[in-house]
Amino acid sequence: MRYAQMRKYDIANGTGVRTSLFVSGCTHNCEGCFNKEYQDFTYGIKWTNEVENEFMQYVLDDNVRGVTILGGEPMQQVQDDDLLNLLKRVRTESGKTVWLYSGYTFEEIVEDNKRRKLIEQVDVLVDGRFVEELKDIRLQFRGSSNQRIIDVQKSLQNKEVILLKG
């Protein structure tokens, strides 16, 4: 895995102060993509054990409420287990919440084995591609109105999409 950006304190992508990771690579090619250079899987910096340890130090900071994974497309990080291992580590070592942004819908994610493994480690999913015509800057934590903020664990249990409350 390669990543484009890491933010120790991010207040724009999910509730509270979060440590965020923008992974490299995405094939959705949405019109109006706000991170076009991040679509390239070779962009950015290689993910290593040292980088992972640095990331975990940020996550364990008392000011940080959780982690947010964006891109790029986190659900296309299936060439290796770097992201899956990171999410498992966040959950076991910090117990903090994981938000993830994907251009795939929840339904598309759960029907694919590799993507499903990743989503099982996530608490909140902001799903769906960015649609320029549905762009609305008043929306909190999402770019266009087709995107949903989903309570992943409840949705997996109930086998249907349940939106995050509040």
What the block records as the tokens of 133 is 């015509």
- Site membership for ligand SF4, residue 128 (CB under 6 A): no
Instruction: Give min distance, CB of 72 to ligand SF4, in A.
Output: 5
Instruction: Name the one residue in this structure whose structure tokens are 């993910």.
Output: 47
Question: Out of 129, 147, 150, 164, which residue is the one contacting ligand SF4 (CB under 6 A)?
Answer: 129
Residue with tokens 């990171």: 86
Number of CB atoms found within 10 A of residue 120's CB: 15
- Give the contacts of 28 (CB within 8 A, at least 6 positions apart): 73, 103, 129
Sheet of 18-23, strand order: 45-46, 2-10, 18-23, 66-70, 97-101, 124-127, 148-151
| 74 makes contact with ligand SF4 (CB under 6 A) | no
Instruction: Choose one: 67-75, 85-93, 111-119, 147-155; the region binding ligand SF4 (CB under 6 A).
Output: 67-75
The smaller minimum CB distance to ligand SF4, of residues 29 and 79, is found at 29
Among 39, 105, 121, 155, binds ligand SF4 (CB under 6 A): 39
Q: Which of 23, 30, 59, 109 binds ligand SF4 (CB under 6 A)?
A: 30
Nearer residue to ligand SF4 within complex by CB, 6 or 33: 33
Q: Is 4 exposed, middle or buried (0-12, 13-18, 19+ CB in 10 A)?
A: buried
Stretch that binds ligand SF4, among 11-19, 31-39, 40-48, 111-119 (CB under 6 A): 31-39
Residue 26 is a binding residue for ligand SF4 (CB under 6 A): yes
